A and B are shown apart, each in its own frame.
Chain A
Amino acid sequence: MTFDYQYFEEEHLSQGYDWKILSRLWPYVRPYLLVLIGSLFCVGIITFSELALPYMTKIAIDSYIIPQTKNEQSLKDIHQESSQKRYLSLTSDQTAKPAIEAIIKKHPDIFEQNKEHIRISYSLLDQLTEKELRLLRSKDISGINKIVLIFLVIIVVNFGTQFGQKLMMEYMGQNIIHDLRMHLFDHTQSLSLTFFNRQPLGRLVTRLTNDIQNMYEFFTNFLTFFIKDIFMFLGITIVLLSLNWQLALITFSVLPLMVLASKVFAQKSREIYRQLRVKLAEINSKFSETISGIRIIQLFQQEDNNYSRFSRLNQQNYLAGMHQIRILALFMPVVEALGFVSIGLVIYFGGSRVLGQTLSIGALVAFISYIRMFFRPVRDMAEKFNLMQNAMASAERIFQIMDTKPRNQLPSSHSLHPKQANKSSIRSLTFSQVYFSYDQNRSVLKDISFNLNQFEHIAIVGPTGSGKTSLIHLILGFYPPMSGKILINNQNLQSWDLNHLRARFALVMQDPFLFSGTIYQNILQGNPCLTEKQLSTVLKLSHCSTFVNRLPQGLNTKIGEGGVSLSTGQKQLIGIARAFARDPEVLILDEATSAIDSETEYHIQDALKDLMHHRTSITIAHRLTTAKMADRILVLHKGNLVERGSHKELMAEKGLYFKLTQMQNV
């Protein structure tokens, strides 16, 4: 019992494709450009405010907590006396205050007079009482208060802009995703049936959900954070260099290692991310497959087998996830460690500079704060790079679907410039040497040529699998022919707007597809603009009134899932009503084969006769009595048009049709 169902990654991301994808995403971003610019502006403010905080700390320390004397002369003096001692110098304004003068007088032993300056060693400050200290440093205290106030303002601004930025970014992201999803949905709806025959349902659903979600991540998370990280990185670099370029260069010395670690991380985790995505798709596929095949699984008692297969997939997904975590768990501490190394270096070199009085304590503190902020964007960028890779892969797949030409290369129904609606009525339908195959291998229709004129009734006769239904599919443009031409009014079918064209056809099937809803809704589906009066005419003509009136809720009776079940005959009558409501130019009838009670049968025949009056019609005839009434009969056999003509002509020909009638008379 060792096998796995095979799943394949559909395609790989080609290098250098990213720019192309980004340029294709641009049209979706353009309507929200102002929001994007606003958001980026906010990012700038956020970055600036975050950068400002450590700088404020530096000012607080250097200007007020441990004010530095900028006087060159005094610095030299200090050096001579003791490089270990730091002094709090008092300005002449301060000493002029009587309260401070009194303190100086009270402690002549600890204050030193140096030329114009009066100063006091920091180490001796504790000999003063708290009250004296407050008085002595009142200017510093008010300075710190000011800084704290600015700090608070920055925090409030930061808070406000973060809030605003998040709102704007989400607004943009959600809207872009909304548009992208609608576009993809609209496009998917317009694709030809051939496309759906080849695409697994699960894959399409994944496009509309997972891949779109990835794009959302890209627009909200990646775009802002990546830009913010770049802002941060550049901002801190500039601030560090301007604070002390030598120390900044020392800090940067760990950067190469950091870049290397990030690169390795990005590479490793990209592989894992891809693997995870594949595993997720496999799990989804397995799940959906299990649900659709549940009957078989249960009947053949494959639950345990299936369970172990799923568990294997799940385990692989788990392992890939853990692998990713291990890489992340290793990368994060590496970044942290490098950060600490860098801080260590700054403390070592910066510390001695502080002692050597070439660097202020505040600058050192700010440096350390900045370094802590510095490595975050570096780390984030490595992570975000994966997010982008992921999003690009998703975008590529989404565009792959979008690049699939709708139908037989007809424009989407919602195009801004729809093909000119051809107002003239359908005068002729011509098949000219049409070949058709669903899978390129087996031809379903071979060399079909015929012509149908306005108000003519033709019947298509032939055994099951002779290609009757395929012929109808081609007329309605569900599939393009493999070769040959289908012309309407001598104009190629492909040059007609399919939606306008289909609106002039009505298809009445032997088992019409009714939506769950009321009978009324189902009839209106043929023509939503039906008036009350028209509706009653339609009901009468289609012979629906009799049975509808018998239903407890009449037209408002619910049918389909959870509603009343109708007989096949009643369903057919509703199908006919729908066709009447549509008032089509061309009628396509798939004649009933299933046994229906004779009364309903009579109603259906009568209703159909009315419906066909003064219209062009094509009937797939299962009974030769129906065929007899047609103006012309086409006899299909194994995809070939073997005979054609009126009933009389065909009978005289004594070919397949003749044999058919003979046999039916047995």
Chain B
Amino acid sequence: MRISLKQVSFAYPSTGIVILKDISLDLEPGTLTGVIGPPGSGKTTLLNLIPRLYEPSQGCITLKGVNIAHLSLTELRSYISYVPQEPFLFSGTVRENITFGNSLFPEKDIEQAIEKAALELSKEEFPLGLETQVGEKGIILSGGQKQRIALARAFIHDKPVLLCDDPVSQVDTQTGKKIMDSISTLAENKTCLVGSHRLAALRTAQSILILEQGRIIDQGSHEDLLTSSSYYASTYYLQQIEEKIDDF
């Protein structure tokens, strides 16, 4: 499903603070598009506009050529799978959190989703495996574990559009690589938009946008950007160092 943004701007109606300015963008089916930029540059807002969590102040977004403002929320969202920046878990078991309590998912699919999300249900931390209670009254999970449960949730709900907001922010480099590999594979037959502050994670993306203060300041593949964008190059090397140190 092709998604197009045409001169989209967004400002918070209450304050008038402009978050996104004049964004034009095409997301092609079967491709992975990455969004990078410093915190507050508008990555999350951009992702939130597609399932209409927010409505653009100007411009329009189309899905397969249809203005999404004309689609019912139910229909629009039935095409979209989403991994939020702050993973949210409900009180319940790991399984319930992944499937939303839908018992129609075959066991095999659940296992696959967990594997793709690099979620390891070790006996020590998840004594009851998939049936371990999590959330408010369950065990305390680390941010990375929550993030992977949220990913498994998005993976099992197989939709033509996959949106991920910083999906590897709270896991280590190795796990992050596994997760990004899964997302890249999934993207082969989906329209996929992934925001991240970790540049290496998006290296496999066909196209990467650099957002700064709500504007797209540069766009291209990883190799293109390494030569064309000083911001990209410097940030990339800085993060490379951090990753190398991590393996130190």
Interface residues, chain A, CB within 8 Å of chain B? Answer: 1-3, 5-8, 197-198, 200, 202, 285, 289, 292-293, 295-296, 298-302, 305, 309, 439, 441-442, 462-465, 511, 562-563, 565, 568, 594-595, 637, 656, 659-660, 663-664, 666
Interface contact B153-A198, CB-CB below 8 Å: no
Q: With the chains together, A464 CA to B241 CA distance in Å?
A: 11
A200-B136, A441-B125, A565-B15 known; A663-B237 Cβ under 8 A = yes
How far in angstroms is the closest Cβ of chain A from B235? 9
CB neighbours (8 Å) of B84 from chain A are 295-296, 299
Interface contact A439-B92, CB-CB below 8 Å: no
CB neighbours (8 Å) of A660 from chain B are 241, 245
CB neighbours (8 Å) of B238 from chain A are 664
> Of all chain B residues, which has the CB nearest A595?
B38
Contact of B96 among A3, A197, A664 (CB under 8 A): A3
A3-B103, A300-B157, A595-B212 known; A295-B91 Cβ under 8 A = no
How far in angstroms is the closest Cβ of chain B from A294? 9
How far in angstroms is the closest Cβ of chain A from B144? 10
Chain A interface: which of B27-35, B73-81, B113-121, B218-226? B73-81
Q: 0/1 per residue, B74-116, Cβ < 8 Å to A?
A: 1001101110100010111100100011111000000000000
Contacts A299-B82, A659-B248 known; list 10 others, CB within 8 Å: A5-B96, A296-B82, A300-B153, A441-B124, A463-B245, A562-B14, A568-B40, A594-B38, A594-B39, A659-B244
Q: With the chains together, A300 CA to B142 CA distance in Å?
A: 23
Interface contact B137-A7, CB-CB below 8 Å: yes
Interface contact B140-A198, CB-CB below 8 Å: yes
> Of all chain A residues, which has the CB nearest B139?
A439
Contact of B82 among A200, A289, A300, A664 (CB under 8 A): A300
CB neighbours (8 Å) of B73 from chain A are 298
How far in angstroms is the closest Cβ of chain B from A24? 27
How far in angstroms is the closest Cβ of chain A from B31? 22
Q: With the chains together, A293 CA to B140 CA distance in Å?
A: 17
Q: Does B167 contact A (CB under 8 A)?
A: no
Interface contact A3-B242, CB-CB below 8 Å: no
Q: With the chains together, A663 CA to B80 CA distance in Å?
A: 40
For chain B, residues 180 to 213, give those with C-beta under 8 angstroms from any C-beta of chain A. 212
CB neighbours (8 Å) of A301 from chain B are 74, 77-78
How far in angstroms is the closest Cβ of chain B from A327? 29
Q: With the chains together, A514 CA to B15 CA distance in Å?
A: 17
Q: Does B53 contact A (CB under 8 A)?
A: yes
Interface contact A666-B137, CB-CB below 8 Å: no
How far in angstroms is the closest Cβ of chain B from A192? 15
For chain B, residues 36 to 77, give those with C-beta under 8 angstroms from any C-beta of chain A. 38-40, 51, 53, 73-74, 77
Q: Does B228 contact A (CB under 8 A)?
A: no
Q: With the chains together, A530 CA to B142 CA distance in Å?
A: 42
Q: 0/1 per residue, B131-158, Cβ < 8 Å to A?
A: 0010111001010000000000100010
Closest 10 CB pairs of A and B: A663-B241, A200-B136, A5-B92, A463-B242, A565-B17, A299-B82, A293-B88, A594-B38, A463-B245, A5-B91
> Of all chain A residues, which has the CB nearest B138?
A6
Interface contact A663-B240, CB-CB below 8 Å: yes
CB neighbours (8 Å) of B53 from chain A are 295, 298-299
Number of A-B contacts (CB under 8 A): 107
A198-B140, A293-B90, A565-B15 known; A299-B77 Cβ under 8 A = yes
Interface centre among B82, B231, B248 (most CB of A within 10 A): B248
> Of all chain B residues, which has the CB nearest A7?
B137
How far in angstroms is the closest Cβ of chain B from A298? 7
Interface centre among B74, B80, B91, B140 (most CB of A within 10 A): B91
Q: How many residues of B contact A (CB 8 A)?
A: 50
Interface contact B91-A663, CB-CB below 8 Å: no
How far in angstroms is the closest Cβ of chain A from B102? 6
CB neighbours (8 Å) of A664 from chain B are 237-238, 241
Interface contact A2-B103, CB-CB below 8 Å: yes
CB neighbours (8 Å) of A1 from chain B are 101-104
CB neighbours (8 Å) of A666 from chain B are 237
Q: With the chains together, A293 CA to B153 CA distance in Å?
A: 14
Interface contact B88-A659, CB-CB below 8 Å: no
> Of all chain B residues, which has the CB nearest A439?
B140
CB neighbours (8 Å) of B242 from chain A are 463-464
Contact of B92 among A6, A198, A302, A511 (CB under 8 A): A6
A296-B84, A439-B140, A595-B231 known; A5-B90 Cβ under 8 A = yes
How far in angstroms is the closest Cβ of chain A from B88? 5
How far in angstroms is the closest Cβ of chain A from B135? 8
CB neighbours (8 Å) of A299 from chain B are 51, 53, 77, 80, 82, 84
12 contacts between A and B (CB under 8 A): A3-B103, A6-B137, A200-B136, A292-B88, A293-B88, A298-B53, A300-B81, A300-B153, A442-B142, A562-B15, A563-B15, A637-B245
How far in angstroms is the closest Cβ of chain B from A42? 46
> Of all chain A residues, which has the CB nearest B153?
A300
How far in angstroms is the closest Cβ of chain B from A605? 18
Q: With the chains together, A289 CA to B136 CA distance in Å?
A: 9
Q: With the chains together, A309 CA to B91 CA distance in Å?
A: 12
CB neighbours (8 Å) of B124 from chain A are 441
CB neighbours (8 Å) of B246 from chain A are 463
> Of all chain A residues, which has the CB nearest B125?
A441
Interface centre among A6, A285, A462, A664 (most CB of B within 10 A): A6
How far in angstroms is the closest Cβ of chain A from B146? 12
Q: With the chains together, A299 CA to B162 CA distance in Å?
A: 12
Interface contact A659-B245, CB-CB below 8 Å: yes
CB neighbours (8 Å) of A202 from chain B are 136
Interface centre among A202, A299, A563 (most CB of B within 10 A): A299
A298-B77, A562-B15 known; A663-B244 Cβ under 8 A = yes
Contact of A309 among B101, B136, B153 (CB under 8 A): B101
Q: With the chains together, A664 CA to B51 CA distance in Å?
A: 39
> Of all chain B residues, which has the CB nearest A622?
B238
Interface contact A637-B140, CB-CB below 8 Å: no
Q: With the chains together, A659 CA to B240 CA distance in Å?
A: 12
Interface contact B136-A285, CB-CB below 8 Å: yes
Q: With the chains together, A568 CA to B41 CA distance in Å?
A: 11
CB neighbours (8 Å) of B96 from chain A are 3, 5
> Of all chain A residues, which has the CB nearest B80?
A299
How far in angstroms is the closest Cβ of chain A from B175? 12
